[in-house]
Amino acid sequence: MSTTESGKDQDQASEAYHAKAEAVMRTFSYSKPDVTDVPRSARVNLGRTDIIRGVVQIWKKGGENNLHYHAGTDSLWIVLDGKARFYGPGDELIGEFGPHDGVIMPRGARYWFENAEDEDLEILQVVAYEEKDAKDTGRTDVSPLKHPLGAGLKVDAKTK
């Protein structure tokens, strides 16, 4: 094979690689859903690939979860609106976060959080999966659930 033919093969392989990724690229628009009649929490799925997922969680007054950790994912949390308190083992305060503040939670780190105000908490969660194509975050509860998992409104963001 000549150098020119080898270069063309590499160019074609490179173009195929990029085209495959660009074919699944999606844009979205987030807007807070009506949560007037939602008792505790809501989730707006922004999108996901084989290694990352984006979700906005909306927590009502008094919304909280239990001490837990994820063995298969790292998470980045950013408060969009409201105020959140994150706690670690023994209810030790990790931090209180307002809009544009947050925390990176490495896999294996134990935590729980709550809505720290009377108004709704909107918080962006970006999850990176340890294993490609993983569907399970490897959640392990350290303390009993305060509320059933999966309860609440679940909607998808609008695609553009």
Chain position carrying tokens 């309860």? 151
Interior CA angle at 118 toward 88 and 139, to 5°?
35
Distance CA 35, CA 29 (A): 18
- The values of phi and psi at residue 5, to 5°, are -65, -40
Neighbours of 8 (CB within 10 A): 12
Domain boundaries, the chain: 29-159
- Check if the beta carbon of residue 114 is closer than 8 Å to that of residue 64: yes
115, burial (CB in 10 Å: exposed 0-12, middle 13-18, buried 19+): buried
Q: Which of 41, 63, 72, 60 is nearest to 150 (CA)?
A: 41
- Check if the beta carbon of residue 121 is closer than 8 Å to that of residue 58: yes
Residue 101 predicted with pLDDT over 80: yes
CATH number for the domain formed by residue range(s) 29-159: 2.60.120.10
| Residue % of the chain over a pLDDT of 90 | 64
Chain position carrying tokens 């084989």? 50
More confident residue, 42 or 151: 42
Distance CA 16, CA 13 (A): 5
Q: List Cβ neighbours of 3 (8 Å cut-off, separation of 6 or more).
A: none
What pTM did the predictor assign? 0.87
Average pLDDT, integer, range 38-56 = 93
Model pLDDT for residues 49-93, shown as the tens digit of each residue: 999 999 999 999 888 889 999 999 999 999 999 999 999 999 999
Q: Which of 8-12, 100-104, 129-133, 148-152 has the lowest mean pLDDT?
A: 148-152
